[in-house]
Structure 1
Amino acid sequence: MTRNVTVGLDGSRESLAAARWAALEAVRRRLPLRIVQVREPHPRLLPSVEPEAQEGWERIADEAAAGLVREHPGLEADVERLAGRPAEVLRDAAGGAEVLVLGSRGRGTLAGFLVGSVALSTVAHVECPVVLVRAGAEDGEAPAEPEGDVVVGVDLSRPHDEIAAFAFGAAARRGTGLEVLHGWDPPPVYGIGPVAMSPHLLDDLAEEKALALDRALRPWRQRYPEVAVRPRTVVGRVSHHLLDAAEHACLVVVGRRSRRSPLGFHTGPVTHAVMHHCAAPVAVVPHG
């Protein structure tokens, strides 16, 4: 199958926002856009309304594709209509995709986002990166992608080239900077009467972490000299720092370990938190 950017479209505001983001990404990558509509059979649907429902369902994707081509002249956009369980169909449809894009339904700033079972299952099992996009402003004039830099979270104890390659590539294609966050915790103190850790020791540990992050980023900086990199080592839960940085980011990149088991979501606590609460588009990159 020809390499492409694939987006799942169900007609919701979130999926339409995802389609706009996917079209822009396809233009950046110089790839065709594949719009996938998944229809789950509804045994209770009355036969008398089936033709009208089918026609309206098909019109959603056709109009979206036509609008995206008008917005991006030269974009190749195809619609594919499939039937079955959405999570399973999307996993199979992502086989030829460099990126799979899905909508993320918003629940407000306090409650965070509701990433439904279809998106969670798809993120956990596809082999390509998945980008979750929330809907923009109600007036429809919001840009397909917010302004700002790309933000990525890295784990120096288990560095993964797939995450770095995606983040640096995303920043290079957008002409933006890249903020790299690594979170660490001070070592625990044990004993009957533990003494507070020396500030000098904390400073030494922080410097050590900063040097380790710089070493890990060195080959990527050489490969992408045009990308301005801002490395940051932070104390505490890195998910909190990622969410703070996301307020001024165009894209947040996190990873999840590839696993063969068909059961469970396998996203990890950091990725899970970012997926559910991040306002910016979130790219989940499988690794390992």
Structure 2
Amino acid sequence: MNQRIVVGLDGSAESVAAAHWAAREALLRSAPLHLVHAEEWFSPLSIPAARSDLRRQWAQALLREASKELLEKHPQLDISTESFDGQPADSLASTTATAGMVVLGSRGLGTLRGFVLGSVGMAVIHAMEQPVVLVRATEDALPHGQECHLDRDMVVGIDISRPCDALLAFAFDEASRRACTLRALHSWMAPPLAGSGSAYNPEVHAQIAQSMDTGLDAMLKPWRDMYPAVSLDAQVEVGHASEQILEAGSEAGLIVVGRRIRQSSLGAHIGPITHAILHHSTAPVAVVAHE
């Protein structure tokens, strides 16, 4: 059986969109869908905390209604539910050991809502080594007449200077399942003018661009051979990577970006390019952890 897809629910429009996106993905993969609600409740000293049984009833009703809505649209789905009290990222980690993907709602534009009330999306991404998909509450993400994802290209951002096999494996596998075009994009910046004026010589610039093309082709060749049916559009662009990916992915069905797995608790766990795309993309974004 394919690994289940876990989606977080908090009752927001973003999490509803995430649930419908995850349902279509579960059908695409013939995988079970697991709906999760987790929330850590805080109460100011002057306001009595909601009784735990009432909170539990609310969470169960949320999961029950979501399951009913998804099964009415996709009766073939295999759906299970689970609710937790406690830190959302920790709770999710305990239920995703065998998951193939985690799907969360995202408000974007500076705020990641996550799958509970509060900004926990980043904490979840940091804690998970499974692919995490962030979904906006847009028309394309909400229920529509098709039982599958909309027929749109995918975009994957690649850094040819470092290995990224897990990123490419996810992107090619997903494009193969969707039977869509995969646009593989590598961006580079010309060096600062001071001390590097030769880089602005047209011949030197062309040589650098050719080197980048060669590097991208070499990185993609094994995956072309492994997935010959995938329509691949490999591009090297000059400019800021986040801007190039956002532009290329403005009409995409999915943008795929990576993050390096860090063992240390210190330092950034999400690079600036992925961070910018998470905050500004209108398309669903898959974050794939890799060495």
TM-score (norm 2): 0.88
Distance 1:209 1:187 in 2: 14
Following TM superposition, by how much is the alpha carbon of 1:67 offset from its aligned partner in structure 2, in angstroms? 1.6
Distance 1:256 1:10 in 2: 26
Say if 2:26 and 2:32, in contact at 8 Å, map to a contact too.
Answer: yes
Q: Aligned pair count?
A: 282
**% identical aligned pairs:** 41
Say if 1:104 and 1:113, in contact at 8 Å, map to a contact too.
Answer: no
Match among 266, 273, 277 for residue 274 of structure 1: 277
Say if 1:146 and 1:249, in contact at 8 Å, map to a contact too.
Answer: no
Q: Which structure 2 residues correspond to residues 9-88 of structure 1 after superposition, within 5 A?
A: 9-42=9-42, 46=48, 51-88=53-90
Show the counterpart of 1:109: none
Following TM superposition, by how much is the alpha carbon of 1:261 offset from its aligned partner in structure 2, in angstroms? 2.6
Say if 2:155 and 2:248, in contact at 8 Å, map to a contact too.
Answer: yes
What one-letter code is carried by the residue in structure 1 that aligns with 2:111?
A: L
Distance 2:276 2:23 in 1: 27
Following TM superposition, by how much is the alpha carbon of 1:159 offset from its aligned partner in structure 2, in angstroms? 2.3
What one-letter code is carried by the residue in structure 1 that aligns with 2:8?
A: G
**Unaligned stretches of 5+ residues in structure 2:** 114-118
CA spacing shift, 1:275–1:214, aligned 2, 3 Å? same
Show the counterpart of 2:91: 89
What one-letter code is carried by the residue in structure 2 that aligns with 1:5?
A: I
Match among 111, 115, 118 for residue 112 of structure 2: 115
Show the counterpart of 2:180: 176
Following TM superposition, by how much is the alpha carbon of 1:73 offset from its aligned partner in structure 2, in angstroms? 2.3
Q: Which structure 2 residues correspond to residues 76-225 of structure 1 after superposition, within 5 A?
A: 76-106=78-108, 112-116=109-113, 117-137=119-139, 145-191=149-195, 194=197, 197-225=200-228
Say if 1:105 and 1:115, in contact at 8 Å, map to a contact too.
Answer: yes
What one-letter code is carried by the residue in structure 2 that aligns with 1:72?
A: H
Distance 2:141 2:179 in 1: 27
Following TM superposition, by how much is the alpha carbon of 1:197 offset from its aligned partner in structure 2, in angstroms? 2.4
Distance 1:230 1:48 in 2: 54
Following TM superposition, by how much is the alpha carbon of 1:186 offset from its aligned partner in structure 2, in angstroms? 2.5
Following TM superposition, by how much is the alpha carbon of 1:49 offset from its aligned partner in structure 2, in angstroms? 6.2
CA spacing shift, 1:138–1:284, aligned 2, 3 Å? closer
Match among 230, 250, 253 for residue 253 of structure 2: 250
Structure 1 segments, 4+ long, off by >6 Å, are none
Distance 2:170 2:50 in 1: 48
TM-score (norm 1): 0.89
Say if 2:25 and 2:149, in contact at 8 Å, map to a contact too.
Answer: no
The structure carrying a bigger strand percent of its residues is 1
Distance 1:215 1:47 in 2: 59
Following TM superposition, by how much is the alpha carbon of 1:120 offset from its aligned partner in structure 2, in angstroms? 0.3
Following TM superposition, by how much is the alpha carbon of 1:187 offset from its aligned partner in structure 2, in angstroms? 3.7
RMSD of aligned alpha carbons: 2.6
C-alpha distance after superposition, 1:40-77 (max 9, x if no partner): 23456757866554323311111111221222222100
Distance 2:155 2:262 in 1: 25
Distance 1:2 1:150 in 2: 22
**Unaligned stretches of 5+ residues in structure 1:** 107-111
